[in-house]
Amino acid sequence: SEEGSNGGYQGVNCLTSENLVFIGPPGVGKTHLAIGIAQKALEAGYKVAFRNALALVEELELAEMKGELKKKISHLARFDVLVIDELGYLPMSRQARYNLFQLIHSLYEYRSVILTTNKDFTDWGEFFHNDNVAVPIIDRVIHHSHIFMLGGESYRLKQKTAG
């Protein structure tokens, strides 16, 4: 595909096993973009799930405590597109990082992940406490990905100062 200002992104038709990653500071529209693309995917007939990263980590942790992690991951893998919003805002335990790796690994090359984060990939080692799962997660997320670096002022701050 041709590379352009959209990073080669060709619309929802790429959402068969490719990922979208939106990186930028708070308030620049990462979640808004992810929701918009998820909505278009739904309209195109894709099965889509949206999870806040913290809620997803808690969901996986609860399933793991019940001995049902594989079942939960299988359930999430039924969706064509999984949106993981706000990864990197809060620290995760070692087990949570491992559970997230298991999920990302199960989706790798079979499903699409739309990820929003305020952390550049260079900061993921710190976010994941330089754990041995950081590199494999990054590797699987960025392979087959369209990465969008967003910048600018927070639209929330703009609205507050304008009003």
Is there a contact between 27 and 154 (Cβ–Cβ < 8 Å)? yes
57 CB-contact burial (10 Å; exposed 0-12 / middle 13-18 / buried 19+): buried
pLDDT at 11: 66
pLDDT value of position 161: 67
Alpha-carbon distance values, 151 to 96, 113, 122, 129 (Å)? 29, 21, 17, 26
Q: DSSP strand E in 13-144: where?
A: 19-23, 48-52, 81-87, 112-117
- pTM, rounded to two decimals: 0.86
- Is 30:116 a contact under the CB 8 Å cutoff? yes
Domains of the chain, earliest start first:
13-162 (3.40.50.300)
Q: What is the pLDDT of residue 8?
A: 52
For each of the chain's 163 residues, which pLDDT tens digit applies?
Answer: 233 344 455 566 667 789 999 999 999 999 999 999 999 999 999 999 999 999 999 999 999 999 999 999 999 999 999 999 999 888 888 899 899 999 999 999 999 999 999 998 888 877 777 667 778 888 888 888 999 999 988 876 767 666 5
What's residue 123's pLDDT? Answer: 84
The confidence score (pLDDT) of residue 15 equals: 72
Q: Identify the pLDDT of residue 3.
A: 35
